[in-house]
Amino acid sequence: MSDYTDEQLILKYQQGDIKSYNEIVARFKDRLLNFINGYMKDYETSQNLVQDTFIKVYTHGHSYKEISKFSTWIFTIAGNLAKTELRKLKRRKTYSFSQLSTKDMEFNLERFSSEDNKDVSVERYEKYKAILEAIPKLSEEFRIIIILRDIQELSYDEISKITGLAIGTVKSRINRARLKLLEMIR
């Protein structure tokens, strides 16, 4: 199953193969979580939205056409769900971004210092910590681009399709986002 491309898996799922669906979930769950967390900055909300994304894939999997990469399609769904959720949260005046980002940043760092990451050196851990503290403080336009390009390693073309920005805009924005991040972690 792991030999199949993402596109082959979704086509197999469209033909009724549920194992292919489970493989898609396994491949994308963490990637989507990090992407959505770039918008939400809240672990639980992000995880629920990842589930929402997979439910959409489950119920609307037949609507995927092989004209775009599957990763572009699923990231676009996840991004749209995150943006919709953000709009809802912004309408509720009780939601505070600054409070949430601080709380969840600490929570994320705790997760990184867990048993799974014990092989990470102290120096590196400090670097990661600085980056993790800085990323939530970036503006959303820079944060999402950094996550998609430098963490998820998506192509400019894919990022352009997911964000709806022109490729030129994505390229200039990624450069400015990196410089901003460097400035913040210095």
Partner 1 sequence: MDYNNFEDYIAAYLDGELSDEQKNKFEELMESSEECKTKFKQTTGLLNDLKSMPTLETSDNFLTKLHQRIELEQKSKANFIENAIQYFSFSNVKPVLSFAMSFGAIAIFTFIYLNDLNIFNQGIANNDNSKSILKHESIDIELASGIEEDDFSIEESFLTGDSDKDSLEENFKKSKTKFNLTKIIKDVIKEISETPTVTNENK
How many CB atoms neighbour CB 186 within 10 A?
Answer: 7
Using the rule CB under 8 A, is 34 a contact of partner 1?
A: yes
* Structure tokens given for 168: 């030129």
Give the up-direction half-sphere exposure of residue 122: CA atoms within 13 A in the CB hemisphere. Answer: 0
Look at residues 150, 149, 152 and name the one whose alpha carbon lies nearest to residue 160.
Answer: 149
Q: Which is nearer to partner 1, 4 or 43 (CB)?
A: 43
CB 93 to partner 1: min, Å: 28
Taking residues 60 to 89 in sequence order and writing x for each that binds partner 1 by CB under 8 A, - otherwise, the string is ------------------------------
Which amino acid belongs to residue 21?
Y
Question: In which residue are the tokens 């609307």 written?
Answer: 60
What kind and span of H or E run contains 3? Answer: none
Q: How many other CB atoms sit within 10 Å of the CB of residue 57? A: 22
Q: How many CB atoms lie within 10 A of CB 55?
A: 11
Binder to partner 1 among 17, 103, 120, 169 (CB under 8 A)? 120
Q: What share of the chain is helix, strand, coil (3-state, %, to 5)?
A: 80, 0, 20
Residue 100 sits in the site that holds partner 1 (CB under 8 A): no
Q: Which is nearer to partner 1, 66 or 127 (CB)?
A: 127
Residue 30 vs 66, nearer CB to partner 1: 30
Query: For residues 3 and 110, which CB has a smaller minimum distance to partner 1 in the complex?
Result: 110
Choose, by CB under 8 A, the member of 13, 24, 37, 77 that binds partner 1: 37
Q: Given the rule CB under 8 A, which residues bind partner 1? A: 22, 25, 29-30, 33-34, 37, 43, 46-47, 50-51, 54-55, 58-59, 108, 111-112, 116-117, 120, 124, 127-128, 131-132, 146, 150-151, 153, 156, 171, 174-175, 178-179, 181-182, 185
